[in-house]
């Protein structure tokens, strides 16, 4: 069939890579990258790790600067906060004052941050930066190796803080104190836990996120947001003291996906420590990786084959069908578990659903009663998470699945909108456009095919 000459050609992978690099350049705020224009003007912890992966495809020194900015905001406890505020970008809510971290003893002087954290994907980004630097050679190689070597202690402190403070009973599962820490803010994973929360006095607030979308139903509701802010008030009441927070906060959940990321990232960090002769660091990091991998494995529901979260306050498992249920694939698992989870992921409850515009895993199974295709973490697909899954399964020995995810994701991103998330049935980009970590995912997928950003 001859193509209609009036029909514009689909963007090539080269076109996608060039457009993605342009997004990161436009969102560059100097020492940090805005997560997105307008909606997210600051630096988010795990966004910036993925952004660094994308930046490393065309500017290794800038990728290093991205991660260094996060380390400059690291608390004395070892925690890396989930937001680093750009003081030149006022107007975001909740802002630094609302977080109340000015009173937190562990916060570094002169840096404005939130008081909670996000999944520790940073060692994975560090690995990518080092690999890209070595590929390029010369000054890029020297800079990447110097940064990797010099930052190992800081990343190790971050992992050890999570493994001790956030796993006080040694279960191999990270306890989170806010759904924002999971990164899956309004996922149905958290519905039951939030339903039990009765907010106390929450100061008035004016949201800004709903002003940046065409349909407010894409975002969490005001009722959900009130509960989010109530948890902030509880953490503020103890000045973000780690031990005191466990006693006062209403939301205490062992997060299986967060735990999976800690497991695999600890393995990656241990490998880096070995490369640089840090025999004092590598064994402890490998212990963390092994402990949290076992913790993830212990949560698998024998009936559904999905991993589960655990609600500490309620003393019960959370078995909602979300992408977090594939935590063993992210963390690395036995051949038996990997085979069962891969078959499930490729099946009709997930990537094999014939209604999907692209065969990519949604954030919640379309077969779940909790599925809402256009609402944030309740159904849409997230390109950065597809990238992480592809990296993990490739590392785990399934290059075919990784290639399938890459092909489908690049097809999704050929709209050049670089949406924050995508409607899984229509393929419509939702949330903020020109999202930095979405552009970074496109750059990494393209780079794996040998396509440079230019």
**φ and ψ of 302, to 5 deg:** -65, -20
Specify whether the CB–CB gap between 106 and 247 falls below 8 A.
no
Number of H helices, E strands in the chain: 17, 8
Six token digits for residue 357: 């515009």
The dihedral sign for the CA sequence 257, 416, 91, 30: positive
Specify whether the CB–CB gap between 173 and 255 falls below 8 A.
yes
**φ and ψ of 199, to 5 deg:** -60, 140
Cα–Cα–Cα angle for 203, 208, 212, rounded to 5 degrees: 160
The dihedral sign for the CA sequence 414, 417, 423, 425: negative
Rounded-to-integer distance, Cα 287 and Cα 293, Å: 10
Exactly one of 14, 95, 135, 185 is catalytic; which is it?
Answer: 185
Specify whether the CB–CB gap between 281 and 152 falls below 8 A.
yes
Of 412, 65, 29, nearest in space to 420 by CA = 412
Cis preceding linkage at 21, omega within 30: no
CA distances from 179 to 73, 138, 275, 330, 343 (A): 21, 43, 35, 20, 29
Specify whether the CB–CB gap between 256 and 244 falls below 8 A.
no
Cα–Cα–Cα angle for 280, 62, 31, rounded to 5 degrees: 95
**φ and ψ of 212, to 5 deg:** -110, 10
Q: Let me know if 420 is a catalytic residue.
A: yes
User: In the beta sheet, which residues pair with residue 177?
Assistant: none
Exactly one of 140, 420, 434, 444 is catalytic; which is it?
Answer: 420
The dihedral sign for the CA sequence 114, 42, 46, 146: negative
Catalytic residues: 185, 420
């Amino acid at each position: 069939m001859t193509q209609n000459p009036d029909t514009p050609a689909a963007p090539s992978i080269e076109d996608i890579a060039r457009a993605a690099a342009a997004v990161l350049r436009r969102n560059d705020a100097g020492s940090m990258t805005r997560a997105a224009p307008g909606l997210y003007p600051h630096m988010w912890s795990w966004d910036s790790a993925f952004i660094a992966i994308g930046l490393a495809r065309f500017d290794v020194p800038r990728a290093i600067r991205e991660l260094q900015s996060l380390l400059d905001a690291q608390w004395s406890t070892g925690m890396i906060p989930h937001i680093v505020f750009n003081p030149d970008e006022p107007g975001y809510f909740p802002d630094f004052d609302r977080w109340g971290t000015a009173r937190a003893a562990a916060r570094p002087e002169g840096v404005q941050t939130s008081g909670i954290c996000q999944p520790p994907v940073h060692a994975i980004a560090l690995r990518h930066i080092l690999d890209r630097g070595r590929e390029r050679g010369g000054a890029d190689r020297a800079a990447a190796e110097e940064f990797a070597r010099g930052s190992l202690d800081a990343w190790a402190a971050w992992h050890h803080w999570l493994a001790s403070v956030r796993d006080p009973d040694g279960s191999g599962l990270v306890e989170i104190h806010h759904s924002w820490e999971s990164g899956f803010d309004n996922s149905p994973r958290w519905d039951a836990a939030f339903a039990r929360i009765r907010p106390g006095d929450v100061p008035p607030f004016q949201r800004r996120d709903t002003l940046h979308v065409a349909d407010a139903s894409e975002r969490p509701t005001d009722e959900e947001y009130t509960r989010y802010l109530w948890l902030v008030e509880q953490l503020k009441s103890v000045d973000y003291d780690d031990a005191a927070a466990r006693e006062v906060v209403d939301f205490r959940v062992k997060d299986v996906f967060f735990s999976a990321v800690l497991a695999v990232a600890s393995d990656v960090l241990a490998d880096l420590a070995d490369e640089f002769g840090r025999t004092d660091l590598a064994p402890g990091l490998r212990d963390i990786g092994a402990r949290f991998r076992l913790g993830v494995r212990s949560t698998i529901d024998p009936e559904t084959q999905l991993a589960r979260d655990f609600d500490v306050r309620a003393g019960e498992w959370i078995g909602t069908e979300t992408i977090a249920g594939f935590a063993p694939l992210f963390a690395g698992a036995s051949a038996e578990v990997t085979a069962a989870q891969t078959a499930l992921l490729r099946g009709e409850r997930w990537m094999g659903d014939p209604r999907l515009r692209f065969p990519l895993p949604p954030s919640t199974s379309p077969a779940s009663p909790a599925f809402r295709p256009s609402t944030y973490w309740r159904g849409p697909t997230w390109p950065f998470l597809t990238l992480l899954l592809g990296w993990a399964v490739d590392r785990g020995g399934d290059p075919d699945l990784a290639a399938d995810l890459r092909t489908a994701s690049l097809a999704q991103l050929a709209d050049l909108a670089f949406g924050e998330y995508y409607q899984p049935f229509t393929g419509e980009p939702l949330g903020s456009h020109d999202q930095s970590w979405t552009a970074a995912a496109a750059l990494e997928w393209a780079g794996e095919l040998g396509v440079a950003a230019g």
